Structures are given as structure tokens and as C-alpha cells.
Structure 1
Amino acid sequence: MNSQPAVPSSYPQATESAVILDVQEITKTLPLSHEQLAILKGISFQIYESEIVAIVGPSGAGKSTLLGIIAGLDSPSTGRVLLNGMDISHLRESQLASVRNRSLGMVFQAFNLIPTLTAQENVELPLYTGKHRGSPATRARELLTLVGLEQRLHHRPNQLSGGEQQRVALARALACDPALIIADEPTGNLDARNSEHVLQLILQLRSTLGKTFIIATHDPLVASLADRTIRIVDGQIAAIEATHSAVTQ
């Protein structure tokens, strides 16, 4: 694998102005019979501009619940999520939809492409909500070229490999030029070769576009390429560590 782009090793000491995401004492409880089941138990951390952070931990630790709250797909029981200084924790759905369209890109393990649409049409889709510069078709073609799929513009998902589908998903996540890209097990459905290609693409997007990524993963390779790993166990942060690759850059 090619060496990753150089990243300053001082992200944990970054200035407040560089904070993209500020998660403050997030809890999540769900009713279970006559009791409350605690899913998240006071999660706090910050993510800085152009950083790649991996969320790791065993199944059932609360990783996906946490990502859902950060993405505005779920609300915390207590605590706040600040995205570029805006508290998105308890916004109305219409407000959250606007925030997601402007400021968040999402990538899923199962790709979540619309099967009846071409690669270009899948990437265009977010651009028809809200106001965006230029033509959606032009923007989609540019992004698919960026991820190396300029020859696959008119292919539908069932005509693409798993790795190609995930690259379409990454292009779609970039469509509205978000501040933060959230990825939930982005290599979970890929073989080793395609996983490596997707990870190199993520590194390239951080290097060339300055994009910020938060990635939930069970894959040790994904975690090793992040600047920091946040380990969650039983709904709590067990450790926040700079990875070896980030320390040695």
C-alpha cells in the first residue's frame, strides 16, 4: 500500500477554531420493560479539521448508535453534539435535513445506492435538495471522475463491483461539499483488495480536499490508517489514542 499523505501529529492539541465536531457528555437510554437500558454513558470527544478518526470496539458497544446521533438520525437522551459550533442534538427534522444536506456526508457498509439509478444519478440525488452551485449532472461527473469512475457514469449498481459501488457512495457523500463525512463500516462488505482501494481513496480525499472523516470499523487496517482511534466499550470511552502511523509522520 502506498504511504499515506503527511498529517500534522498535533491534532489532539488543535485550536478551538479547528474543531469540526464537539461531542459533549452524550447519553442514550432506551426503555426495557420497567427499566431503562443505557446504550451510551457520557461520551465526550472532539474531532478536528482534516482529521480521520476511527471509532472501534466490540459489537454492541454503541458505535452505530453514536454515529446515528452524530448524523442527526437519532437524538441523545442527554448531552450535545456541536457541528461547526451548531448544536444539532434536538433540532426539528426539517432543520436536521438541512444540516445533513449542507454539512454531513454519509457512507454505509451496504452502500445504500438506489438500484434503479445510474452511478451519476445516485450522486446527483443530494444536489436536488437545497441550493447548490452549478449543474447537478456536472458536479456528479466531476466527483465520479475524482473517485476513478469516469467510465462508469451510466452503470447501475448491479453492473458495478462492490468496490465501485462504495466509490459511488463516497462520491455521493461528497456531493454537497460537507464539513464531515461519517462512514459506518465502509469496508465491511469488501474483499481485501477493494478495501485497500477504498481506504486509499479516503486518504486521497483528506489530502486533496481536506475532508474530515469519522469511521466506525472492526477492520484493524482501517483503524491503523486513522489519525486517532476512539475505543468504546459498554457505551463508554475506554481510550482515545493516536495511531502509530499518525505519531510517526
Structure 2
Amino acid sequence: MIKMNFRKKLPSFELEGNFTLQNRILALVGPSGAGKTTLLQCIAGLQSPSFGEINMNGEMLFSSEKRINVPTRQRRIGYVFQDYALFPHMTVEKNILYGKKKREKETERGIVLNEVLETFKIEHLRNRYPSEISGGEKQRVALARALMTEPELLLLDEPLSALDQDTRGELQQELLKVQKRWKIPFIMVTHDLKEAELLGDEIVKIDKGRQAALKGVS
């Protein structure tokens, strides 16, 4: 479960992040410049809120009062960017394995490579490089890489916006299956209200930093 109540002062307005999420998909919608990506970056630790708290599964990630600000690398949060952010010099397999937690015993239970490759239907791409695969395939690799870090929360910043309609529809269904299978809470930014309605158990509209619940949020 992630619980947050923070504010971030921006040049034109103050962004509020105030919600609780547990094993569901929260879709954030709103116009460009509304603060959606900044909210994700505050959760991930890429930016710091001005004041408030962020708590995930009982661990305080940020508290202005207690002067806590856990570094990004120590937050068990996966982040999928719109532009994929794959390493061009690494194969698909090495990209996916990048950042995977090293275990003392190989027999310890964890999310395994073959399982993720099968889930996103990219087994046949494991030895190719990013320049050799399509946009939809790159996004599958980016999603697989984020999942391999075994996150407690997955942040998705408009991950499907650059894809054609058919590929986008396929990945929407795959995201639903992944969330249901691994029961990881997702927070997803999208401009597309229809996509938000399809994927989001909860929908929050953000406009100039202000939140308004559209679905499933009390």
C-alpha cells in the first residue's frame, strides 16, 4: 500500500499528491503541464516535495517533518518512461536484467527472466539490440525491465502514447494481465480518458496541480 499527502511548489501553481493505493491501477489524467509527471517523479524520488509525507508498505520514503528522503535507488519502485530509456549497447536480455536484485541463493523465489519474456511475448528478441526492434517491442522490453526489479510499485509515464492503435490495444491487455498476476499497484499517467477508463480501477484528474476523483476514489 502506498499512502501520500504532500505538496510540491511549482512556478505557476502548487501540486498536491493526496491518495492511498493498494494492489490496484490508478490512472492520472489531465492536460499537459498539469503536474502529472512531476507527481510520479516525487513518488520515485527524482524530485522532492516541498512538504508532506510519502509512505509505502509501512516505510517512510519522504517526510519533511522527520527530514526523511530515501534515495531513488533504495525505493522499490519501477519507472517506465514514454521514451523507453533502453541502453542501445545492450541486448534485450541484458536490458531486462539491468538492475535486477542480486540474490545470495539462485533458488530464492523471485521474478525470473523466462517468465517475464513469456508474459510480454518477447522470447525471440532476447539477443537483439534496441535498434533492431519496433516501438511496441521496445516498450515491452521497458516494462519487462521494470518488472524484473521486483518493485512494490510501478510508475508508468504515458507508456503507450507513441504506439499505433493495434499495438496499444495489445499492450493495454498485457498490462492488465501483469497487474492481476503480480498484484503490484500501478500509477499510470495518460492523456487518453478512454485508456484511463479501460485500465484504471481508480481515476484522478489533475489540472494545475489540483486533484479531482473521477472513478473509484473516495
The TM-score range, normalised by the shorter chain, is: 0.7 to 0.9
Q: Secondary structure, in 3 states, of the residue corresponding to 2:99? A: helix
Residue 4 of structure 1 corresponds to none
Residue 23 of structure 1 corresponds to 4
Residue 169 of structure 2 corresponds to 196
Residue 84 of structure 1 corresponds to 57
CA gap of 1:132–1:125, structure 2 versus 1, over 3 A, is farther
Residue 162 (structure 1) aligned with residue 138 (structure 2):
no
Question: Whose helix proportion is higher, 1 or 2?
Answer: 1
Q: Deviations over 1:14-40 (max 9, x none)?
A: xxxxxx11111x11124x6xxxx4341
User: Letter of the aligned partner of 1:22 in structure 2?
Assistant: K
Structure number with higher relative contact order (C-alpha < 8 Å, ≥ 6 residues apart): 2
Q: Secondary structure, in 3 states, of the residue corresponding to 1:82? A: strand
CA gap of 1:84–1:219, structure 2 versus 1, over 3 A, is same
In the alignment, the residues of structure 1 paired with residue 188 and residue 85 of structure 2 have an alpha-carbon distance, to the nearest angstrom, of 16
Contact kept? 1:27, 1:76, Cα under 8 Å = yes
Count of residues in Structure 1 that have an aligned counterpart in Structure 2 = 208
Residue 13 of structure 2 corresponds to 38
CA gap of 1:133–1:79, structure 2 versus 1, over 3 A, is farther
In the alignment, the residues of structure 1 paired with residue 205 and residue 38 of structure 2 have an alpha-carbon distance, to the nearest angstrom, of 14
CA gap of 1:180–1:133, structure 2 versus 1, over 3 A, is farther
Contact kept? 1:107, 1:183, Cα under 8 Å = yes
CA-based RMSD: 2.0
Contact kept? 2:42, 2:49, Cα under 8 Å = yes
Q: Secondary structure, in 3 states, of the residue corresponding to 2:79? A: strand
Q: Secondary structure, in 3 states, of the residue corresponding to 2:144? A: helix
* Cα deviation, residue 189, structure 1: 1.2
Residue 182 of structure 1 corresponds to 155
In the alignment, the residues of structure 1 paired with residue 104 and residue 180 of structure 2 have an alpha-carbon distance, to the nearest angstrom, of 24
In the alignment, the residues of structure 2 paired with residue 141 and residue 200 of structure 1 have an alpha-carbon distance, to the nearest angstrom, of 20
Residue 126 of structure 2 corresponds to 153
In the alignment, the residues of structure 2 paired with residue 221 and residue 73 of structure 1 have an alpha-carbon distance, to the nearest angstrom, of 29
Residue 239 of structure 1 corresponds to 213
Q: Secondary structure, in 3 states, of the residue corresponding to 1:151? A: helix
* Cα deviation, residue 240, structure 1: 4.1
Residue 47 (structure 1) aligned with residue 25 (structure 2):
no
In the alignment, the residues of structure 2 paired with residue 86 and residue 209 of structure 1 have an alpha-carbon distance, to the nearest angstrom, of 21
Aligned-residue sequence identity (percent) comes to 35
Residue 179 of structure 2 corresponds to 206
Q: Deviations over 1:92-145 (max 9, x none)?
A: 53xx3122xxx2111111011111111100011112x5547539xx93333112
Contact kept? 1:98, 1:130, Cα under 8 Å = no
Q: 2:106 is matched with which residue: 134, 157, 165? A: 134
Q: Secondary structure, in 3 states, of the residue corresponding to 1:170? A: helix
* Cα deviation, residue 150, structure 1: 0.7
Contact kept? 1:120, 1:141, Cα under 8 Å = no
TM normalised by structure 1 equals 0.77
In the alignment, the residues of structure 2 paired with residue 106 and residue 132 of structure 1 have an alpha-carbon distance, to the nearest angstrom, of 25
User: Letter of the aligned partner of 1:38 in structure 2?
Assistant: F
Where structure 2 has 5 or more consecutive residues not aligned to the other structure, the ranges are 63-67
Residue 60 (structure 1) aligned with residue 36 (structure 2):
no
* Cα deviation, residue 162, structure 1: 0.7
TM normalised by structure 2 equals 0.88
CA gap of 1:106–1:119, structure 2 versus 1, over 3 A, is same
